[in-house]
Amino acid sequence: EPEVTQTPSHQVTQMGQEVILRCVPISNHLYFYWYRQILGQKVEFLVSFYNNEISEKSEIFDDQFSVERPDGSNFTLKIRSTKLEDSAMYFCASSGDRGDQPQHFGDGTRLSIL
């Protein structure tokens, strides 16, 4: 069964450094998402992306965050200058040709900011 893959599984970064989290969505999916889960808290929506532009973003997704689909397969989340509070599990998801179809999640990237 096709799946969403994320790399790396764990990223350790110094505070203030830039980090790029990578995702390969399911190949025929058109909608892409990033969510995060701070340890012990709810999974929170960050951003949705369709047709090469952001569809919606949450208030968490400030100017330090950006997303890109650099080629036909990858979908990336960049955090420009990481803060301690960015430490979390980041999940990528994708869904088919309608935005309300089931979203399939990757296994996540654990981001640890030192």
| Smallest separation, CB 39 to another protein (Å) | 12
Shortest Å distance, C-beta 94 to another protein:
11
- CA–CA separation, 40 and 38 (whole Å): 6
Beta-carbon contacts of residue 24 (< 8 Å; ≥ 6 apart): 4, 5, 6, 73, 74, 75
Q: Is 7 helix (H, G, I), strand (E, B) or coil?
A: strand
Residue 69 near residue 32 (C-beta atoms within 8 A): yes
Chosen residue from 44, 65, 66, 76 binding another protein by CB under 8 A: 44
Q: Tell me which residue of 68, 64, 72 sits closest to 53, measured CA to CA.
A: 68
The set of residues, in sequence order, having a beta carbon less than 8 Å from that of 40 and lying 6+ positions away, is none
Query: Contact between 25 and another protein (CB under 8 A)?
Result: no
Site string for another protein, 69-108 (x = CB under 8 A): ----------------------x-x-x---xxxxxxxxxx
Closer residue to another protein in complex, CB, 22/104: 104
Q: In this chain, which of 35, 87, 88, 94 binds another protein, going by CB under 8 A?
A: 35
The residues that touch another protein, with contacts defined as CB under 8 A, are 31, 33, 35, 41-45, 48, 55-56, 58, 91, 93, 95, 99-108
